[in-house]
Every structure is written in structure tokens, then in C-alpha cells.
Structure 1
Amino acid sequence: MHETTEETGSTSWSELLSPSYSAATLTLCLGVALFAFNGFLVSTSLPTAVREIGGLELISWAFTLYLVLSIVGGASGALLKARVGARMALVGAALVFLAGTLIAAFAGSMTEVLIGRAFQGLGEGIIAAICYALIPELFPSRLVAKVFGAEAVVWAVAAFGGPLVSGLLTEHLSWRAAFLVNVPLAFIFIALVFYIVPRFSGEIARLSVPFLRLSAIGFGIMLVAFASIMQTVTTEVLCVLGAAAVLASVVVVDRRSRTPLFPSDAFALNSTVGIGLWIVLLMPVAQASTSVYLVMTLQNLWGYGPTKAGACNATFAIAWSTVAILVANIQDQRRRAWLIRLGPTLLVAGLATIVFGFFVDRPLVVMLGQIAIGTGFGVSWGFLSQSVMESARSGERDRASALLPTLQSVGYAIGAALAGLVANAVGYPEATTPVALRDATIIVFAASTVIGVGAFVAGFVLPTRKKNLLAIELRKQL
């Protein structure tokens, strides 16, 4: 009964920094920071690295390999946690990430940078997945939404601080120094893991490593990456369809496996976990077009400089983190269910607003659309993630939790590929006049709006009936 009282009691933000939870909060936020800052550090410093060591034709692979390996690592996170425990899995992954950082930082060729980036991706994918799986273990239910709010703040800080720090280091020291920022962060993370994550006390699970399924996931994401760089629309479509077939097959085979990577009801249309995972996937798929094309369009269509265009794009992260903090105190389950539905609604409304903003040639309207999208993620993402975690079947919570950040990365990869496919089909790269560029942009974001409708529908069919909530409460008491 003590646990039930704790779960339903009042809470404040200061509790995350109390002696009971401060180390856990810092550990999980630092795990997110490794991923968030690393992306911004590399994207800012890598062009300078290319000028020094060459390999311009390979620069896109520095991001592609990182993404593919991070998704593969994330997919294996729950399995590694079960086999060796969270502490050893996190320390091992951090060491892999650290090795990749050092290889890239002291690289003499772009090939060495790519090897380093692959190690970074693998390590960080595992770290992100296991950190998510640890959230319901280290924090009571009443604090989970606040943990997601704190992580949203880390992302917002990274969005501003990452390019600034990397730019200053690259300009005044070296691009290698920008890479090496990760080294002290990794060592601090390892020390915190030893302090906060308990030693694995159970028996080592005798689970086989599903190399075939993990390889298939990597191949599917690689097909998605190929789609974004293909020169013909037909080839792009074939790559996207091939990727969809491969990834769907992995899910089907995984359900029948004795060592599953995913929860048994992943993507099922009759459970909170299954439908919740669809929302987790579809929201980033729809939003990815703004990450890929908004800054570029603002610069080419309205003559924005890099700083001004980047600031407009960053309103998404600011809105997400600000709103996530504001709603984290809400404990009422009915209000949380309503906010989960509101998230995809604002996503669709925001994308439609961006379409309208380009149609009427009003930058302010476009910015309002970005804010609406960020608000949609902010009001729903923490509650949606917590709902998936707490609704998982017995023994499957780790797999459901670990899948969340991995699926988010998959969504962004697929969304970027689909946005590129649409952009190429409507002539965005060849647009040489403002009218042609605006028309192509409108179609790209309109297509994303249609994808967002899928998340909107899923939000309204997500099971949130009283018996669902009672089952969760009963599981907590047991």
C-alpha cells in the first residue's frame, strides 16, 4: 500500500533533484545529452573536417551509418539488459561510444571517421534504449512525465548550445576538439552508471542473439537511407517499399521468436502498446519534413540567413520543452488521455498551418505552425511514452520502453526519405524561381500533413478506457 500512496501523491519538480532521485535524473539526462549534443557537434564540425582530410563524397555516410547503427543498437538494448544487466550494458555501450569518438577525433581519413561514427551510433543506440527502460524502474509513476520534461529541456539546450560550442571549438581550436567534447561526458556518464544503476543480481539470461533480425533491421534502415539519395523517383519508391517490407517482416518474425526484440503486441491495432507505438512512429515521420526542408526553404525563398532560419526552426524544440514542463504536473488520467490525443491533432494543425503560411507567403504563419507542432509533441510525448511503458504485458516492459527512442529514430529516417521522395517528384531540387520553389514546398508539407492524419486517427482509437487504467493500477499494487 505504501507504493500506491507514493504513486498517487502530490509531486514537484524539485523532487527530481532530491537526494533520492537527483543522481538518477542526471544519469538519464546525460544519456540523452550524449545523443543530442553529439548530433549537433558533428553536423557543425564535419564540413571543416572534410576540408582538412578530404572525403566530401562520403560526408552523408557519416550521418547515415550513425543512424543505422544507433537503430540496430537500440533494437538490441532490452535483450542486452536481460543478458548482462543494465549496468554492464550501459558501461559497455558507453565504452563503445567512447572508442568511436576517439577514432573519429584522431582520424586521418574520412574512412576512419565513418568507422568512428558507426561505433558512436551503436553505443548511443544502446544507451538511449536502456535509459528509457530504466525510467519506470528508477522513478515512481508520478515523476515519469517530469523525467520526460527534463529530457526535453536537454534537447532544447543541445539545439542551441551544440552548434554554438562546436562552432567556437572548430573555429578557434580544431574540428577534432568538437568531437572530443564527448570524452568527459562519457566518463561522467560511466561514473554515474556505477553509482546509480544497481549491480545485476539475477541469473544471466541464456538468450541467443538474433543476429539475422538485427541485420535485417539495419538493412531496412539502409534502404531508407538509400532512398534519400537516389536520383530517380522510381528507385526511391522501390527502396522505400523494400524497406517497409523488410521491417514489417522483422516484426512478424519477432512475434514468433523465443528471443523477441519487441513486445508481443507491437503495432497491434487492439492494444495500448500496439497503437501507442504507431503514434510514436508516425509523429516523427510526419514532422521530419520540417527538419529536412524548412531551413533550406526559408533561406532560398525568403532570403533568411543561417542564424535567422535556424532560430525559426528551433521554435519547435523550444515549444516542445516549454510545454512538456508545463503539463508534467498533470496527474489525472483522463486529462492525460486527452493530451495524448491533442498531440497528433496539433501536429496536423501545425503542418497545415505551415502549408497555409507558404501559400499566403507569410513567414510568421510558418513560425506559428512550427510552434504548434512543437506544442503537440510537448503535450503528448511524455504521457504517450509512459502509457506504452505501463501498459506493456507482464515481462515485456523493458522491450516496450527500449523500443520508444529507437522507433522515434526510425520515424525520422523514414520521414526524411519520404519527404525527399516527394520533393524530388515535384521538382524541389530543380526549382529556380520563387513560385516554383513555393509550389514544391507546399506539396512536400501537404504530404507530411496527410501522414500526420494517421497519427491523429491512432490517437483517437488509443485504448484509454477505465478498465485499462484499473489494470495498470492493479499491476502497480502487485
Structure 2
Amino acid sequence: MNGAASELSPNRRRWLLAAVMSGLLLAMLDQSIVGTALPTIVQTLGGNDLYVWVATAYLVTATVSLPIYARLSDRHGRRALLLIGMALFLLGSGLAATAQNMEQLIGYRGLQGLGAGALEGLSFILVADLFAGRRSAALQGALAGLMGVAFIAGPLVGGFLTDHVGWRSVFTVNLPIGAVALAVVATVLPASVGRSERRSTPLDLTGIALLTLGVGLLLIGLNERHLVLIAGGLVVIAGFLAVERRAVAPIIPLKLFADRKVAAIMIAGATSTFGLFAGALLLPRYFQQVRDVSATHSGLLIYPLLLGILVSVNVAGMLIARRLEFRGTVLAGAGLAALGALGFATFDASTPDWQSLIFMGLMGLGIGPALSGLQIALQRSVLPQQIGGAMGTLLLLRQVGGAVALASAETVYRAGSDPAVSTGTGVLTIGLVGSLIAALALISLPRGAGRLPAPAMAPA
């Protein structure tokens, strides 16, 4: 634990935890909250041809900036980067609520996402700075569960606010909560927490530029299903990797991948949540179009997926912290997620709702251990000064993996002619592929590689 962090009183640590959890919740909600508000927004502002860009602008800037914030926080401390991110997020939220046309809204959403990258990445890293031992593992599980809650709850919250308050409230709701979180971080968090790199170390500006361009092109290409953009993004990312191999202080520390355990954790982290993204995209559409329920009702019907994640993410975190072994727990989860995905093999319009709810619950129970367990395992598998870069890389890969899962699920869905069967095929294919890749990555590790070192005891 960082020296400055260890000197904080338990009460101050609790205040900081509440602040970063609030920030993470807002950032993750805003990835999905606008989905149910967009039809109303388009009716008000016009620009139906720009529909998808309201979500894409946020996703791209949040994903690209996430590892950059994480890595720069090693140099300048967590507080400085977190405050910058919070300020940008609040500014973007306030401006988005005032947008007079779609072009403005897209620009403001991009600014909002630029701040969200700090909230999404630094929250997990700061918990590792502030807490140790089983407390850290439990909190990592809680944060990971919060991500799942926000991702699935976003459409329901967005629909409720749009129906009862107005679409601009989807953005203004961030302001009071975010302002309080910013004030707590500014007054309670010491500036030196997380600072482990000398400022004289050369900054990897070329790597930052190539990462931004490459991941941006890739994400936009995936969202638009534009092969030229995807190919361009992959070419730029190849150039980025070449630059990172020679960089003194790379944004993405490639030497981490030389450790087989870390490499397996990264691969599993990128693919283990495929079923979550596919289910959250396709199932609400099925319930609305085929079962003819409201948007709010469809959001409630996918709650078994959410509840499964909430239960298993915390149980897995506690098991891993107690047993100091992560592979068995995460592999068991991958098996459950695959079983849930297989349940959609015969899915069609006549499938009883209770069956789909059971399959969703199994998928949620299986995905949860990967959300919490892989983050705990990664933190225990790298040196303290590597946590920023390692966590930033894991979260980046999870975001990119999510974009791949969403684009692939939509492609599978559009290839079919029956909405119900296409939904089942999409969840089955994407969920099963993600679980299998994650499982194979972990199975490939040598015997005993799943064991973790005992952590230092948490302060009182």
C-alpha cells in the first residue's frame, strides 16, 4: 500500500470509497443509459442518421482514455488524474443537457466519455492503493458487480427518467452526485497516492497518439461494421505495439504479457463478458418486439442476468481471497456461463419466459467470477508499481472485447430472418465463444499457476 494511503484514517478511506464508487456508477450508467432515451432525443433534435453516434462517441473516448489515465496516474498521482476526469465528465454531462442539435450532443458525449475513462479505470486502481488483504478483494468484487449493475440498469433508468422527467435529466442527474464525489476526492485524497514514476521519465507521446487513433478506428469500425476502418485500426495498433516495445515508459506495458499468468488473465478478461454484452443487447429487443412488452418491462425481464452477476461477483471475490487461488473459481464460472448460453440453442417465440430467465441467471452466475476474480488475480500477480498499467490494460481489453461482442451479436442477429431465433442464436454463439476462449486461456496455464501470494494485512 502507498505510504500516503496507509496514513489515511478509516473514515477518510470510507469517504473516498463512496466517492469513487459513485463516480464509477455514473460512468458505467452513461454507457447504456441513453439507449432508451435516444428515440425521444431524435424526435426533439432530429438527426436520425446520427443516432448511433451518440453512444459511439462516448464509448470511443472512454475506452481510449482509460489506459492513458491509468498510466499517467503512476507519474502524477491518482488525485490529479481523477480530478481531471471528473471535471471533464461533469462538464460534458452539463453541456449534453443543453444540446440544441445532434452534432452538439455527439461532441458533448465525446467530452463526457473523455472524463469517464478516468472514473472507470482509476476507481479499481485506487481501491488497490487504499486497501489490502481480503478487504481489497471484497471491494474489487463490489466494484466489478457495480459495473454489471450499471450496464444492465442503464436502459431502465434512462427509460424512467425520459418518461417521467425528460430526456435532458439523463445527463443532469450526474451533476449533483458527481460534484459531491469530486469535492471528496479533492479534499480527502493525498496528491502523492499512486505516484511511483519519476516525472523526468520520457512520456510515451507517440504511443498515446497511436493508441488513440488505432482503438478509435477499431471501435468505430466495429460499431459501424465498416471493414476498412477495422482494418485501418488493426494496422495502427500493430504500429503502436512496435513503438511500445521500444518505449522507456510505455502506456501499455507489453512486458507484462511475458508472464503466462498475466497474459492468460488479460485474454480471459477480454472475452469472459461476451455473454453479458450479447444478452444485454439482444434480449431487451426480443422482449419488446416479440413479446410486445414496454421498454421498462423489458429492462426488468433481464434482471436475472444482473442478479446472477451480483451474487457470484461477491461470492467469487471472497472465495479467491480466502483460498488464494483464482483459476478454479473463474473456470467454474466459465462453465456456468457456457451452460446458460447453451440454453438458448432452441430459443424461439414459443420459449416460456421462465426458461429464458433461468438461462440468463446461469449466465450471470458464470460471468460474475471473471469480473471480480481476474482483477484480484492481476493485482496479486504484478508488482505494486505495475498495478496502474496492468489494470488499465485489463480494463481496456474488456472494453474492446465488449465492442467486439456487441458488433458480433448484432451481425449474427441480422443474419437471421426470425427475431426470436436470431436472438437465441446470437446469445448462444457469442456467449459460448467468449466462455470457451476464456476457459482455454486459463486451462493453458501450468499446474499451480492459479495460486496467488498472500496479501499484506489491511490497516484498521
TM-score relative to the length of structure 2: 0.86
Distance 1:317 1:211, change over 3 A: farther
Q: Is residue 412 of structure 2 the alignment partner of residue 418 of structure 1?
A: no
CA change 1:351–1:272 in 2 (3 A) is same
Matched, 1:444 2:426: yes
Kept in 2, the 8 Å contact 1:155–1:317? The answer is no
Q: Given that residues 82 and 204 in structure 1 are in contact (C-alpha distance below 8 angstroms), is that contact kept between their aligned partners in structure 2?
A: no
Q: Give the AA of the match of 1:418.
A: S
Q: Match for 2:364 among 374, 379, 397?
A: 374
Q: Which residue of 2 aligns with 1:247?
A: 237
Alignment length (residue pairs): 447
Are 2:288 and 1:299 aligned?
yes
User: Residues 333 and 369 of structure 2 are in contact (CA less than 8 Å); yes or no, is this contact kept in structure 1?
Assistant: yes
Deviations 1:13-55 (A, max 9, x none): xxxx963642232122112112123234433333323222222
Residue aligning to 2:71: 79
Measure the CA separation in 2 of the matches of 1:289 and 1:162: 15
Q: State which of 116, 119, 123 in structure 2 corresponds to 1:124.
A: 116
Tell me, what secondary structure is at the counterpart of 1:207?
A: coil
The residue that corresponds to 1:12 in the other structure is: none
1:212, CA displacement in angstroms? 4.9
- Residue 6 of structure 2 is matched in structure 1 by none
Pick from 345, 358, 367 the counterpart of residue 355 of structure 1: 345
Deviation at 1:143? 1.2
Residue in 2 that maps onto 1:91:
83
Say if 1:125 and 1:406, in contact at 8 Å, map to a contact too: no
Mapped to 2, the partners of 1:37 and 1:450 lie a distance apart of 26
Q: Deviations over 1:211-248 (max 9, x none)?
A: 55444444434334334434xxxx54x55455445435
Q: For the residues of structure 1 that align with 2:365 and 2:159, how far apart are their CA atoms? A: 29
User: 2:139 & 2:241 partners in 1: Cα distance?
Assistant: 29
Tell me which residue corresponds to 1:226. Answer: 221
In 2, distance between residues paired with 1:67 and 1:353? 30
Residue by residue over 1:261-304, the C-alpha shift from the partner in whole angstroms, topping out at 9 and shown as x without a partner, is: 12334555x52211101001011335422222222223334444
Counterpart-to-counterpart distance in 2, 1:342 and 1:356: 24
Written as runs of structure 1 = structure 2, the 5 A alignment for 1:298-317 is 298-317=287-306
Identify which of 433, 441, 448 aligns with 1:458: 441
Displacement of 1:474: 8.7
Cα drift, residue 102 of structure 1: 1.7
Which residue is equivalent to 1:34?
26
Q: 2:210–2:237: 8 Å Cα contact kept in structure 1?
A: no
How many Å separate the matches in 1 of 2:156 and 2:350?
33
Q: Tell me, yes or no, if structure 1 residue 23 matches structure 2 residue 15.
A: yes
The offset of 1:163, in angstroms, is 4.8
In structure 1, how many angstroms separate the alpha carbons of the residues matched to 2:420 and 2:154? 31
Matches within 5 A, 1:263-274: 263-268=253-258, 270-274=259-263
Q: For the Cα contact (< 8 Å) 1:132–1:405, is it kept in 2?
A: no
Counterpart for residue 9 of structure 1: none
1:84–1:174 CA distance, 2 compared to 1 (3 A): same
- Report the AA paired with residue 447 of structure 1: T
1:205 deviates by 4.7
SS at the partner of 1:332? helix
Alignment match of 1:55 (pick from 44, 47, 69)? 47
2:159 and 2:284 map into 1 onto residues whose CA distance is 18
Structure 1 spans left out of the alignment, 5+ residues: 4-16
CA apart distance, 1:140:
0.7
Say if 2:104 is the partner of 1:106. Answer: no
Residues 71 and 409, structure 1, Cα contact 8 Å, conserved in 2? yes
Matched, 1:258 2:241: no
> Aligned AA for 1:440?
S
TM-score of the two chains, using structure 1 as the length reference: 0.83
1:138 to 119, 130, 133: 130
Q: 1:165 to 1:286 in 2, by over 3 A?
A: closer
Deviation string 1:393-412 (CA, Å, 9 cap, x unpaired) is 46322111222332221111
Q: Distance in 1 between matches of 2:159 and 2:425?
A: 34
After superposition, give the CA deviation of every residue in 1:361-393 in whole Å (9 maximum; x if it has no partner): 343332222111111122332121111112124
Question: Matched residues in 2 for 1:467 and 1:272: separation?
Answer: 8
Structure 2: runs of 5 or more not aligned:
3-8
Change (3 A) 1:163 1:68: closer
**Alignment partner, residue 191 of structure 1:** 183
Instruction: Give, in whole Å, the separation in 2 of the partners of 1:239 and 1:83.
Output: 33
